[in-house]
Amino acid sequence: MNKKMDQKPDLLEVLCAHGVEVDTRGGRISVLCPFHDEKNPSFSVDPDKGLWFCFHDHIGGDVYDFVGSMKFGLDNWDSRNKIMFKEVVSLLEEKNFKQQKISPKKREEKKKELTQNVLFLLGHVTQIYHQNLLQEEKAMGYLADRGLTEEFIRTHKIGYANGNLGVMLSMLPEDVFRELAVEAGLIYVNAKGGRRWEFMKGRIAFPDIDRDGRVLGIIGRSLDQQQNPKYLTLNGLPKVIWGLHRFSQWQPLIIHESIMDACTALLMGVPSCSPCGTGIAWHLLEELKERKYLGFLSQDDDPSKRAIERWKEKLPHGRAIVGNYDGHKDLNEMATEIGWEATKTRLFSLLEKGGFEYEVQKRRDN
């Protein structure tokens, strides 16, 4: 949306007209995405603000963006195109939907800077989550099934949020860190009742650690398919690209949509990182431009292939590589289902076509 309007066609009514089953009683809701064939809801709707968001493609907008995406396609719709926008307006006027008054957007709260206190807090939370994981049989079993070795888990300080963070933080002598946990987004406080809960509870925690050992952010990944969205980031801190700062700007680096694919490639000896989804933290754009050797490796599905095309548009020096995994969805699935050595051979073959070469070494299962 790029036109400011006090009133717009009611988003819920428009969604219903397009066959989207929504609860019209108000409040933020999640429903099955009309743009994808899925079993678990990944389409978020905020009726009060008249906004929607697709967590599958990390694309969203207002009622005009929804109708435009339905009419022209999710990747083709461009609200800046006057012809497209005019046609969408005409379509909505023809249907005579009831109008919804849109309150002006509040200025977004500034993200917390990575001060020494914030860095200390993130490091401390990472240690808590890491110790939780080592004692959590289900989560450790899940990661083992995905091919992550215990040595890898310990090296990357991967953790698990089991809901004990509030208690553990209460043991710190300074109140400032408990307040920072709320501001950073680690602890969520209900505005009405004041109830607190751990934002990433029940998720695998992937800390983004730089070359100096500092934790710059934490990404929560779902442990099972019932948890949506798949990835959570800390709302109070700048978005991170997991693993980006572990490598110097001169090292060849491959960006994967999936954090599990990035872990798989790392275990195979390929420096890798992941934005954890199809959207990239564009505030890191200038830093990415400085990296001389950059590659984008997709999963074997259309949204992922479209994503690396968008990344290529923003970072033209990067090399887009379309993934092909013999009928498997992605690199990690191929590795866990047909074997790591065969998958490594396929990975190196794909990267070689993109101009990257790596020495083949046997994987150590530590």
Residue 27 sits at the vertex; the CA angle it makes with 54 and 69, to the nearest 5 degrees, is 25
Instruction: Pick 111-240's CATH classification: 3.40.50.300, 3.30.300.30, 3.40.1000.10, 3.90.980.10.
Output: 3.90.980.10
pLDDT digits (tens, 9 = 90+) for 251-294: 999 999 999 999 999 999 999 999 998 888 888 999 999 999 99
Where, residue-wise, is CATH 3.90.580.10 in the chain?
A: 7-100
- Which residues share a beta bridge with 8? 100
Check residue 7 and give its pLDDT. Answer: 81
Percent residues over pLDDT 70 in the chain: 89
- Average pLDDT for 335-340: 97
30 Cβ contact list (under 8 Å, min separation 6)? 41, 42, 43, 44, 45, 228
Where, residue-wise, is CATH 3.90.980.10 in the chain?
A: 111-240
Choose from 62-66, 146-150, 183-187, 306-310 the range with maximum mean pLDDT. 146-150
262 Cβ contact list (under 8 Å, min separation 6)? 242, 243, 254, 256, 272, 273, 274
Where, residue-wise, is CATH 3.40.1360.10 in the chain?
A: 246-366
Higher pLDDT, 225 or 184: 184
- Report pTM: 0.74
Are the C-beta atoms of residues 218 and 125 closer than 8 Å to each other?
yes
pLDDT digits (tens, 9 = 90+) for 121-178: 999 999 999 999 999 999 999 999 999 999 999 999 999 999 999 899 888 877 888 8
| Topology classification of domain 246-366 | Dna Topoisomerase Vi A Subunit; Chain: A, domain 2 (3.40.1360)
Instruction: Pick 7-100's CATH classification: 3.90.79.10, 3.90.580.10, 3.20.20.70, 3.40.710.10.
Output: 3.90.580.10
Query: Is omega for the bond preceding 229 within 30 degrees of 0, making it cis?
Result: yes
Percent residues over pLDDT 90 in the chain: 55
| Mean per-residue pLDDT of the chain | 87
Binning pLDDT at 50, 70 and 90, where does residue 36 land? confident
